[in-house]
Chain A
């Protein structure tokens, strides 16, 4: 294990400053594709614009009633499509 010295701590701090720029740039590049709701880790507190490439989560709570909840970013859309659910059940 490296010995901790005063000089070492100062050097480490300097590396930290350089790395901050790299992280910030990576975050900026990733923001374009970031899901809007709540990806953990380094993220923007403001909602990023939702793009056509953002993933969609589908929730079917009760297959028998035909209700499908689709979630994208912070939004959700509820539709009724028993035929679609039937096709999933027959997979």
Chain B
């Protein structure tokens, strides 16, 4: 998965598990950038009686590095609380919920948004903002799309936020990929072969909890400018998200517990799949607790990714050139740790300097594409991953092909990628019309428990 249950410890703490991060110039408000951080992986829609919610004891944050040092210069911090209308019923809702202030909405979440600058100065942007309920079914949440729309809050200075349940946007054939790297469309070539088959989307009917914030570009740059030239270093930001918990937790008895001490990061995410398939099992928990500025400690795993050595073994004879390539993977270091410098891809750069940090790097001067390609830059679409990441980008295929060697010629012209490198995929194409929204928060209407009783 992108970063769903990607490390041993966070897989046991889903409320704090950061599953995906997206950053892109908003297609319908191109003077803004949309930043999205998802949490709580693989929510089965039929989740009653206690439906999914954000953790009141978790500090959720989206960070922006705008000067290339791998540290957050701007942080948007989200804290949640729960309010019960009626503690004397077991019901999540006591009737249909047709508005966010419906008295039938028994267990609601409200949240605050705070902007923190690089010096730690805090500015409150919003207080007591309502999250929508989870999508339950036609009797409880009869017009969910309209209900969720009420939870898009316009704050000052053109900032817009949403926090609540959404349909999972990330798509992957989870069942095959973690069965020894099987890709169903090519499984006849696998070391343990079976007839080729179509990919199976494991996440099309599960939900996730989304924190989305849309911010005018000039509020994200280091100097308050709105760069229009893609070669302008000020146009590039690095984005990551995190979740933190109190250092100590005391079970007080009688159902109460409390957190003490400073916040400690337990989950983070920049580029999809970084901790999942680059970082080895014994380092994953440590990686989740670290700041991106220290990611040079993980350089070796980027330069010599384990998956690049596994592909030729799992698909015998299919990747001879990749198998013979022994140099450090400078292409992956650029894509994942420093950004791509000018002069490598015509008209594009998202280089942030020498500091090696796993950040989702977005060049905000590249306008949204009117005809997006799911393969992003690999498909000739400079507005897609790894220039930031849009909700529909096929990051599994893009990263599979990159690791298989298709991006090596960007930095090493002597290398000829194997023919299979530009073909490997888990074989999924989402229905853009039904899975996503064309406006904020862009991730689609979550499935209801009635609609999908067994995900």
Interface 1/0 per residue, A1-41 and B, CB below 8 Å: 00000000110111111011001100000000001011111
Contact (Cβ within 8 A) B258 A39: yes
| A45 interface neighbour in B79, B249, B258, Cβ under 8 Å | B79
Q: Which B residues lie within 8 Å of A73 (CB)? A: 260
A80 at the binding interface (Cβ < 8 Å): no
Q: Which A residues lie within 8 Å of B112 (CB)? A: 45-46
B256 at the binding interface (Cβ < 8 Å): yes
- Consensus secondary structure, chain B interface: strand
Question: How distant is A4 from chain B, measured CB to nearest CB, in Å?
Answer: 10
B67 at the binding interface (Cβ < 8 Å): no
Question: How distant is B82 from chain A, measured CB to nearest CB, in Å?
Answer: 6
Contact (Cβ within 8 A) A57 B261: yes
B286 at the binding interface (Cβ < 8 Å): no
Question: How distant is A41 from chain B, measured CB to nearest CB, in Å?
Answer: 7
Question: How distant is A42 from chain B, measured CB to nearest CB, in Å?
Answer: 6
Cα(A30)–Cα(B55), bound, Å = 20
B248 at the binding interface (Cβ < 8 Å): yes
A-side interface residues, number (CB < 8 Å): 34
Question: How distant is B76 from chain A, measured CB to nearest CB, in Å?
Answer: 14
Q: Which B residues lie within 8 Å of A46 (CB)? A: 79, 112, 127
- Consensus secondary structure, chain A interface: mixed
Contact (Cβ within 8 A) A45 B81: yes
Question: How distant is A40 from chain B, measured CB to nearest CB, in Å?
Answer: 5
Known: A42-B81, A76-B261. A15 touches B246 (CB 8 A): no
**Closest B residue by C-beta to A26:** B87
Q: Which B residues lie within 8 Å of A45 (CB)? A: 79-81, 110-112, 127-128
Q: Which A residues lie within 8 Å of B257 (CB)? A: 39-40
Cα(A16)–Cα(B106), bound, Å = 7
Interface residues of A in 38-78 (CB under 8 A from B): 38-46, 55-57, 59, 69, 71-76
Return 5 A-B CB contacts under 8 Å, by A number: A9-B95, A20-B86, A45-B110, A71-B261, A72-B260
For the A-B complex with A35-B260, A40-B57 known, give 9 more contacts whose Cβ atoms are closer than 8 Å. Answer: A12-B94, A20-B83, A24-B83, A35-B258, A39-B258, A40-B257, A42-B84, A59-B248, A69-B261
Q: Which residues of B contact A (CB under 8 A)?
A: 55-58, 79-89, 91, 94-95, 102-104, 106, 110-112, 127-128, 245-250, 256-263
Q: Which residues of A contact B (CB under 8 A)?
A: 9-10, 12-17, 19-20, 23-24, 35, 37-46, 55-57, 59, 69, 71-76
